[in-house]
């Protein structure tokens, strides 16, 4: 008897404010306080503003990808989850594994930053005068603060969110005050704007360097994605929190960088050279030195701000790392222990413990700041992967997921983000030696664990397609035809027509039966749904087996359209033949809920057969739309018509060739089409369209023919709900009908590749 | 001087574009939240109705 499956879940405590502050807390971490001085040193006074403005927009692009995916798949795991659905187990394990490490190492960095500033502050107060070397305290203090936040995280998401929110709100407010003071000072003393001369003293190329090391500071949306299981109204709050946090962080950075540049007056006591050179000469401390001249007690307040910033970032990173390892445990990529949840606190205690061990190990044993660059590399990899996922998932599963947000200007936005990330990875080539050792060791260890443990134990995800039975014949050069057989009643007529279409060349036929498994049934119990499908397949086989080499496959999945598309891609199918009953039960779909997505996504030629039965056709009408599919429709018509006394009538629709204006005239287009069919055994004659609505013209004409073959196109129009001409005709036509779609051009190549 | 002009234009463009994206996204999230079903197809069809 099967052991009952026990599912565990986290409590939903985090609202929009908590989520935004969690993201913001991770972004306005100590790194930015230290980064501004460095950015001024490398790129100049204008360079620092440009760096943050450009990074805000670019980070927003990746945040939009995260927002779309999190709204549709609101589960703990972030990038790991998206990669699981988009690319399968191997890639997703690596993503989760790297996410766990990168967040843990980032946590260690923040703990060390906190300790450095805290010890220095205590030193300034004279509290540590009894210690010979105060810096010896840094590591123990870092370990203590890490332990404190591990405990806060153990207390629960609400406590974690609230603790982070208070600290983040404090530090953000402080930075906003600095920005406002900067603007006021610039208005009262416009001569300070001269500090921006020269704007880019080292040229534009230095911008890539500064963008490279500050871009990762915008990683906050990752922690928000991790909160998918714990967010209230996740479809709404997760995307909003991601976009708001990047936006607030970006504006704050630009304002604060502006304040830093104008804070020093040229020629003031102690300032040597240009103000920006003077600030830049302090490198990491430059921001502090500048702000101390802008507001009273600037240095002291900044120390406090860094302490707050590092603690809120530490809190957020521990949370993020814990959820990454929890997600791996939940899907049994790591031992089940990682998914154990404390009964009272509802937090993943073992994942937290394991994360704590990594954080403490990096803090106490390794040179933390050197290891930190490896985390940057891994975060960039995750962002890159998420941008790929958003494209792949939108193209393959957009009819299954309930979105709360859609990335605008798709796919331009994720593609732009990907290109920039590739450039920025190149800028990380100056990583420290230790980072170059640690990062590959962690990745190799992950690969080993996956090969030896995770691959065989991972639970199937809801989106996966499983092959129940499949017989395979050795591959040849034949034309590969796939026929999904769903309904035993029309299986025979479907194979009869498949026989006609395939008979003109050596073909190999694969019969496919997709077993749809309802959401409430576990995928493991899907075998019980196989019986009905087998009947149709057996009938079809008996008919076709004497004429063609045939193989069969039974697969089960949640979504039939995706299962068919996936089988087409895996088996490199050349032609997909499907049956259609002639109406769509769901008014959102133009042809049918299974056919519509298959037509848009399957990377092969498609023929859809409606009401053809087992008849022989003599008179076939082919309306021409002036599109790529016309030629394929003519080819298909030729195969369906009787060779001896059959005839095809091609009817160019009014205005169809208008699409070719500029390159082909209407006559030139038709001449080209006719040349293609002139040496064929079947006669093709041209018929002009009467001056009326093309749909009505075809419907009236179709009554005098045995069969109508239509080229099918306009996948974009179909997606947005605008019926194309061919669809309007297909839905209203009472004559037997075939819809043909050719797989050609760039879009076909892209579909095959993706 | 040209550097400053181009630089300021880029900064204004980036921050302006970011604001536009955030405002547009906010509206879109609210619109989708009112929908009963929100697959990509539902959202696109709702937008064009």
Q: Is the CB of A64 less than 8 angstroms away from the CB of B37? A: no
CB A298 within 8 A of CB A46: no
Quote the minimal CA–CA distance from B14 to chain A in Å: 6
d(C-alpha A372, C-alpha A439), whole Å: 10
pLDDT at A16: 92
d(C-alpha A307, C-alpha A110), whole Å: 9
Measured between CA atoms, the residue of chain B closest to residue A243 is B22
Q: Is the CB of A398 less than 8 angstroms away from the CB of B39? A: yes
Q: Is the CB of B18 less than 8 angstroms away from the CB of A247? A: yes
Q: Is the CB of B10 less than 8 angstroms away from the CB of A54? A: yes
What's the predicted TM-score (pTM) here? 0.79
Point out the residue among A54, A401, A408 whose CB comes nearest to the CB of B14: A54
How many CB atoms are closer than 10 A to CB A564? 27
CATH code linked to domain A608-744: 3.40.50.620
Report whether pLDDT(A291) > 80: yes
What is the pLDDT averaged over residues A167-189? 88
Find chain A residues with C-beta within 8 A of B32's C-beta. Answer: 235, 403-406
Lowest pLDDT segment from A409-418, A520-529, A632-641, A723-732: A520-529
Measured between CA atoms, the residue of chain A closest to residue B29 is A405
pLDDT at B48: 55
Measured between CA atoms, the residue of chain B closest to residue A52 is B11
The DSSP 8-state label assigned to residue A641 in this structure reads B
Report whether pLDDT(A10) > 80: no
Interface probe for B, chosen from A235, A276, A406, A595 (most Cβ of B below 10 Å), is A406
Q: Which of B18, B44, B46 lies closest to A719, judged by CA?
A: B44
The rounded radius of gyration (Å) of the Cα atoms in chain B is: 17
The rounded radius of gyration (Å) of the Cα atoms in chain A is: 32
pLDDT at A585: 66
Angle between helices A16-27 and A157-188 (to 10 degrees): 60
Distances (CA, A) of A19 to A122, A217, A327, A620: 33, 17, 19, 62
Report whether pLDDT(A643) > 70: no
Find chain B residues with C-beta within 8 A of A43's C-beta. Answer: none
B18 and chain A in contact, CB less than 8 A: yes
Point out the residue among A46, A589, A721 whose CB comes nearest to the CB of B3: A46
Point out the residue among A198, A402, A720 whose CB comes nearest to the CB of B45: A720
A242 and chain B in contact, CB less than 8 A: no
DSSP conformation letters of A107-136: HHHHHHHHHHHHHHHHHHHTTTTT-S-GGG
Assigned token pair, A509: 């036929």
CB A317 within 8 A of CB A104: yes
Find chain A residues with C-beta within 8 A of B44's C-beta. Answer: 719-721
How many CB atoms are closer than 10 A to CB A389? 27
Angle at A296 between CA A290 and CA A300, to 5 degrees: 75
Q: Convert the pLDDT of each residue in A338-381 to its tens digit.
A: 999 888 878 899 999 999 999 999 999 888 767 777 888 888 88
Q: Is the CB of A404 less than 8 angstroms away from the CB of B33? A: yes
Sequence ranges of chain A with CATH classification 3.40.50.620: 608-744
Quote the minimal CA–CA distance from B43 to chain A in Å: 8
The domain defined by A16-457 folds into Amino acid/polyamine transporter I (1.20.1740)
The number of C-beta contacts closer than 8 angstroms across A and B is: 113
In the structure, what pLDDT confidence band is assigned to residue A398 with cuts at 50, 70 and 90? confident
B24 and chain A in contact, CB less than 8 A: yes
B47 and chain A in contact, CB less than 8 A: yes
Q: Convert the pLDDT of each residue in A596-624 to its tens digit.
A: 888 888 888 999 998 888 778 888 999 88
Enclosing H/E stretch for A739: strand A737-741
Distances (CA, A) of A362 to A35, A378, A431: 22, 16, 17
Assigned token pair, A106: 């980032």
B25 and chain A in contact, CB less than 8 A: yes
Point out the residue among A46, A394, A722 whose CB comes nearest to the CB of B7: A46
A53 and chain B in contact, CB less than 8 A: yes
Distances (CA, A) of A660 to A663, A665, A669, A714, A727: 6, 7, 8, 16, 21
Quickly tell me which residue has 């997505």 as its tokens: A597
The mean of the pLDDT values for chain A is 82
Sequence ranges of chain A with CATH classification 1.20.1740.10: 16-457
Three-class DSSP labels, A708-729:
EEEECCCHHHHHCCCCCHHHHH
pLDDT at A11: 61
Report whether pLDDT(A4) > 50: no
Q: Which of A587, A641, A585 lies closest to A617, judged by CA?
A: A641
Q: How far apart are the first and last CA of chain A?
A: 41
d(C-alpha A614, C-alpha A726), whole Å: 24
d(C-alpha A678, C-alpha A693), whole Å: 29
pLDDT at B49: 53
d(C-alpha A113, C-alpha A117), whole Å: 6
pLDDT at A60: 96
Interface probe for B, chosen from A202, A404, A718 (most Cβ of B below 10 Å), is A404
Point out the residue among A50, A403, A408 whose CB comes nearest to the CB of B10: A50
Q: Is the dihedral of CA A551, A557, A561, A562 positive or negative?
A: negative
Find chain B residues with C-beta within 8 A of A722's C-beta. Answer: 48
Assigned token pair, A418: 């990907």
Find chain A residues with C-beta within 8 A of B28's C-beta. Answer: 405-406, 408
Point out the residue among A199, A240, A720 whose CB comes nearest to the CB of B44: A720
Which domain, by its residues, includes B14?
A: 2-48
Measured between CA atoms, the residue of chain A closest to residue B13 is A53
B14 and chain A in contact, CB less than 8 A: yes
DSSP conformation letters of B8-42: HHHHHHHHHHHHHHHHHHHHHHHHHHT-S---HHH
pLDDT at A1: 40
Beta bridge partners of A575: A481, A605
Quote the minimal CA–CA distance from A616 to chain B in Å: 38
| % of chain A surpassing 90 pLDDT | 25
The total domain count for chain B is 1
d(C-alpha A371, C-alpha A373), whole Å: 6
Strand order in the sheet with A605-610: A466-470, A550-557, A507-516, A479-484, A575-580, A605-610, A737-741, A707-711, A619-624, A647-652, A683-686
A198 and chain B in contact, CB less than 8 A: yes
Assigned token pair, A593: 């809920």
pLDDT at A750: 65
B29 and chain A in contact, CB less than 8 A: yes
Q: Convert the pLDDT of each residue in A530-549 to its tens digit.
A: 565 566 667 666 776 676 67
Distances (CA, A) of A418 to A33, A99, A203, A212, A557: 27, 18, 25, 14, 31
Q: Is the CB of A408 less than 8 angstroms away from the CB of B10? A: no
């Amino acid at each position: 008897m099967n052991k009952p499956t026990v599912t565990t879940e986290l409590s939903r405590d985090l609202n929009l404010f908590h989520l935004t502050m969690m993201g913001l807390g991770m972004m306005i971490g100590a790194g930015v306080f230290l980064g501004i001085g460095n950015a001024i040193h490398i790129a100049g006074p204008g360079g620092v503003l440009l760096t943050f403005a450009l990074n805000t927009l670019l980070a927003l692009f990746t945040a939009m990808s995260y927002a779309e995916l999190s709204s549709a798949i609101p589960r703990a795991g972030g990038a790991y989850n998206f990669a699981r659905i988009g690319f399968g187990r191997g890639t997703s394990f690596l993503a989760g594994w790297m996410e766990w490490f990168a967040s843990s190492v980032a946590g260690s960095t923040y703990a060390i930053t906190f300790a450095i500033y805290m010890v220095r502050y205590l030193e300034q107060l004279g509290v540590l005068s009894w210690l010979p070397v105060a810096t010896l305290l840094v590591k123990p203090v870092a370990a203590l603060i890490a332990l404190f936040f591990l405990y806060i995280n153990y207390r629960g998401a609400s406590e974690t969110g609230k603790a982070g929110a208070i600290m983040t709100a404090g530090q953000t407010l402080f930075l906003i005050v600095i920005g406002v003071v900067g603007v006021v000072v610039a208005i009262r003393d416009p001569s300070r704007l001269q500090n921006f001369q020269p704007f880019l003293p080292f040229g534009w190329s230095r911008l890539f360097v500064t963008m490279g090391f500050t871009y990762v500071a915008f990683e906050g949306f990752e922690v928000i994605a991790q909160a998918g299981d714990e967010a209230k109204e996740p479809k709404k709050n997760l995307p909003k929190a991601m976009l708001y946090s990047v936006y607030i962080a970006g504006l704050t950075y630009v304002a604060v960088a502006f304040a830093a540049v104008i804070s020093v007056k040229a020629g003031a006591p102690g300032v040597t050279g240009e103000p920006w050179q003077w600030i830049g000469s302090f490198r990491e401390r430059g921001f502090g030195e500048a702000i101390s001249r802008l507001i009273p007690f600037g240095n002291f307040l900044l120390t406090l701000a860094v302490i707050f910033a590092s603690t809120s970032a530490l809190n957020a990173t521990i949370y993020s790392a814990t959820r990454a390892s929890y997600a791996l445990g939940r899907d049994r990529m790591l031992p089940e222990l990682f998914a154990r949840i404390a009964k009272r606190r509802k937090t993943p205690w073992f994942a937290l413990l394991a994360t704590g061990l990594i954080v403490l190990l990096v803090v106490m044993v390794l040179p933390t700041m050197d290891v930190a660059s490896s985390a940057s590399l891994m975060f960039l990899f995750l962002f890159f992967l998420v941008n790929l996922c958003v494209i792949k998932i939108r193209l393959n599963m957009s009819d299954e997921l309930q979105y709360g947000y859609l990335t605008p200007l798709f796919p331009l936005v994720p593609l732009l983000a990907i290109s920039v990330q590739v450039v920025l990875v190149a800028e990380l080539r100056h990583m420290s030696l230790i980072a170059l050792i640690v990062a590959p060791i962690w990745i190799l260890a992950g690969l080993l664990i996956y090969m030896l443990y995770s691959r065989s134990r991972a639970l199937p995800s809801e989106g996966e397609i499983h092959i129940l039975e499949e017989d395979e014949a050795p591959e040849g050069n034949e034309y590969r035809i796939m026929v999904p057989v769903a309904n035993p009643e029309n299986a025979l007529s479907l194979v009869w027509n498949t026989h006609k279409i395939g008979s003109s060349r050596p073909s190999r036929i694969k019969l496919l039966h997709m077993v749809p498994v309802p959401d409430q049934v576990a995928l493991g119990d899907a075998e019980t749904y196989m019986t009905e499908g087998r009947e149709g397949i057996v009938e079809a086989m008996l008919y076709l087996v004497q004429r063609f080499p045939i193989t069969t496959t039974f697969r089960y999945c949640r979504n039939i359209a995706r299962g068919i598309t996936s089988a087409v891609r895996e088996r490199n199918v050349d032609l997909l033949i499907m049956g259609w009953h002639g109406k769509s039960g769901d008014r959102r779909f133009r042809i049918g809920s299974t056919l519509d997505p298959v037509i848009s996504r399957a990377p092969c030629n498609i023929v859809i057969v409606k009401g053809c039965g087992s008849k022989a056709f003599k008179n076939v009408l082919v309306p021409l739309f002036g599109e790529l599919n016309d030629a394929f429709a003519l080819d298909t018509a030729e195969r369906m018509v009787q060779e001896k006394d059959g005839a095809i009538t091609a009817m160019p629709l009014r205005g169809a060739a208008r699409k070719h204006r500029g390159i082909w005239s209407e006559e030139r287009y038709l001449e080209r089409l006719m040349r293609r069919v002139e040496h064929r055994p079947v006669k093709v004659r041209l018929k002009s369209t009467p001056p009326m609505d093309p749909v009505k013209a075809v419907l009236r004409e179709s009554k005098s023919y045995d069969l109508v073959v239509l080229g099918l196109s306009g996948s974009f129009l179909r997606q947005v709900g605008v019926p194309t001409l061919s669809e309007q005709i297909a839905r209203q036509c009472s004559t037997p009908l075939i819809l043909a779609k050719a797989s050609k051009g760039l879009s076909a190549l892209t579909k095959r590749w993706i | 001087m040209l550097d400053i002009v181009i630089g300021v234009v880029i900064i204004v463009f980036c921050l302006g574009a970011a604001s536009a994206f955030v405002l547009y996204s906010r509206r879109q999230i609210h619109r989708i939240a009112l929908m009963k079903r929100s697959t990509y197809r539902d959202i696109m069809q709702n937008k064009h109705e």
